[in-house]
Amino acid sequence: MSEEKKFNLTTAQAYETAGTKYILTEEDKANSKFGKLVFEFPQERNEVVAEGDPEDFVVKPQAYFRGASQIPGSEFNQSYQIFVKPFFLDRVQHRHVKDEFLVFLGASFPNVFDFDAKIEFTLGKGDEAETYIIDKPTIIRIPAGVYHCPLNFKEVNKPVLFLATLFTPMFGGVYDLPDGKTMEMYYNGPVPCKYNPDKKCDTCGKCLQETWEK
Ligand SMILES: [Zn+2]
């Protein structure tokens, strides 16, 4: 057996748990070295996607990790939504500059395999498009540049935990316009601007340049 394999993790941990203890206050975070890496989820309410859509398809409040605007330097963002009713979430085909992963799990906790829903999701565009019916706990990788959607939660008989993870500092996608041009669109939720809390984030991207180090 090599030296490394004999290393005793239990003993090692005992030496590593020393140090100052912090409660998650803004003041503590400002005075600490690593405080910017610890972030308390704010409670968010969904903003209705389209006129006339029902608001109660998803449980309120929701948690989202909004990426680099919340933990500086983050190269990913993630949603944690629990769907309780059918909903046509994403109608418009698009792609991303980095990989995206979609996770569908049962939300009748604690058993995430207790799943009773039917969700349709399309990967690819035009002739190569493929539509998948998700009726079991599933994870889907969408490589950078690959067209995808629509995403339609057609039947939701039991709550579904939906996580969308995108490896960019802020959520956003690239959309094809009818005139052949493309448009990048960003969305950062109803969070306040980092520099002016009276203002809603307008996805200007200024805070994405910050680092977590002091
Ligand atoms: Zn996407």
pLDDT at 3: 53
pLDDT band, very low/low/confident/very high, at 10 (cuts 50, 70, 90): low
Let me know if residue 76 belongs to a domain. Answer: yes
How far, in Å, is the centroid of ligand 1 from the Cα of 7?
43
How far, in Å, is the centroid of ligand 1 from the Cα of 153?
15
The predicted-structure confidence for 28-71, as pLDDT tens digits, reads as follows 888 888 999 999 999 998 766 666 677 788 999 999 999 999 99
Q: And the tokens for 214?
A: 């002091």
Mean pLDDT across the chain, nearest whole number? 90
Let me know if residue 112 belongs to a domain. Answer: yes
Let me know if residue 164 belongs to a domain. Answer: yes
* Total number of domains in the chain: 1
Q: What is the pTM of this model?
A: 0.88
How far, in Å, is the centroid of ligand 1 from the Cα of 150?
9
Let me know if residue 6 belongs to a domain. Answer: no
The protein residues having their C-beta less than 5 angstroms from ligand 1 (an ion) are 100
Let me know if residue 15 belongs to a domain. Answer: no
How far, in Å, is the centroid of ligand 1 from the Cα of 10?
42
pLDDT at 5: 61
Let me know if residue 5 belongs to a domain. Answer: no
Average pLDDT score over residue span 138-147:
98
Which residue is listed with tokens 């569908």? Answer: 104
Please give the backbone phi and psi of residue 172, each rounded to the nearest 5 degrees, phi first: 180, 165
Let me know if residue 80 belongs to a domain. Answer: yes
The residue segments making up the domain with residue 41 are: 20-209
pLDDT at 131: 98
Of 16, 18, 17, 21, nearest in space to 32 by CA: 21
CATH number, position 78: 2.60.120.10
